[in-house]
Amino acid sequence: MNDKIGSIAHDMPDEGKLCELSEFFRVFGDSTRIRILYALSKSELCVCDLAQLLGASQSAISHQLQILRTSRLVRYRREGKTVIYSLDDEHIFSMLNIGIEHLEE
Amino acid sequence: MNDKIGSIAHDMPDEGKLCELSEFFRVFGDSTRIRILYALSKSELCVCDLAQLLGASQSAISHQLQILRTSRLVRYRREGKTVIYSLDDEHIFSMLNIGIEHLEE
DNA sequence: TGCTTATATGAACATTCATTCATATATCGG
DNA sequence: CCGATATATGAATGAATGTTCATATAAGCA
């Protein structure tokens, strides 16, 4: 059984990688951010649309968007006074769907 | 554009569902739990093996396993003095893999 | 230049959460 | 029954985190 542990230990990604992985998942672990991501999976949206849609303050949304930007989960571009956000890649979409599938069992 | 918001609002799952979804993801958002899940994706393991493998205290592992049990991410059975844990379903595995793929870009 | 709207950001506060320590429960061997 | 080993759990503590409030930046318009 020490062999078992040894071989698993050998196959494990290093702690840094698994830490990054948990940080990646943690970003999905907040309902405001999940709702932002879900909304963006339907359409690109500006900050004030998101705030209105989610019934949250502009500041709260902006703070959460910063986290999503830092994690590279969203893209953004400025158009005049507004800034328009969209999902960064399709992994995000499959991620949401796997979660939803899991809950629907 | 109010139409846009309206139709997205209409398509959004209710807040409760999206809250469950974020809670589900939050479970993956801790490096100790991720390492437990990763180890269990290789083989079923008892608590003391997990503790040794991860270099964590028995108590810390036990507390995290309780969270994983509550979220139905792991199964367990008693065998004599030891309790053996394993992954509960294959969604967990695809979940980990999507995360890993995402980081490897 | 001044005013308004849209967005970003820093500080403070309250809450959540992971770990540790101490202790309880459970199983086995003698 | 008693001691040893494996696991679970409650309380306490310190760290991480989401929101709010106030304010800063940026763009458009008169």
b/e sequence A12-47, b meaning 16+ C-beta within 10 Å: beeeeebebbbebbbbbbbbbbbbbbbbbbbebbbb
CATH number at residue B33: 1.10.10.10
CA distances from A86 to A32, A103, B92 (A): 16, 25, 27
Instruction: Please tell me the predicted confidence (pLDDT) of residue B3.
Output: 80
Find out whether A68 and A27 touch, Cβ atoms under 8 Å: yes
Amino acid identity at A2: N
Tokens standing for residue A102:
């899991």
CA distance B22 to chain A (A): 4
Cut 0.85: pTM above it: yes
Mutation target vs A (from B4, B34, B64; most A CBs, 10 A cutoff): B34
Residue stretches of chain B with pLDDT short of 70: 1
Per-chain mean pLDDT for chain A: 94
Average pLDDT over residues A8-31: 95
CA distance B30 to B32: 6
CA distances from B32 to A23, B68, B99 (A): 12, 11, 16
Spanning CA of A91 to C1' of C6, the rounded length in angstroms is 30
Total count of domains within chain B: 1
B45, with CB counted inside 10 A (0-12, 13-18, 19+), is buried
CA distance A56 to chain B (A): 13
Domain that holds residue B99: 2-103
Contact assignment for A98 to B89 by CB distance below 8 Å = no
CA distances from B91 to A88, B68, B96 (A): 23, 14, 9
State the first-to-last Cα distance of chain A, in angstroms, to the nearest integer.
Answer: 35
Q: How confident is the model at residue A91 (pLDDT cuts 50, 70, 90)?
A: confident
Spanning CA of B36 to C1' of C4, the rounded length in angstroms is 54
Find the range with the poorest average confidence among A54-63, A76-85, B55-64, B96-105. B96-105
**How many percent of chain A have pLDDT more than 70?**
99
Instruction: Please tell me the predicted confidence (pLDDT) of residue B105.
Output: 78
Contact assignment for B17 to A103 by CB distance below 8 Å = yes
Instruction: Please tell me the predicted confidence (pLDDT) of residue A90.
Output: 81
Whether A61 shows a pLDDT value over 90: the answer reads: yes
Chain A's closest residue to B94, CA to CA, is: A98
> Nearest nt to B64, CA vs C1'?
C18
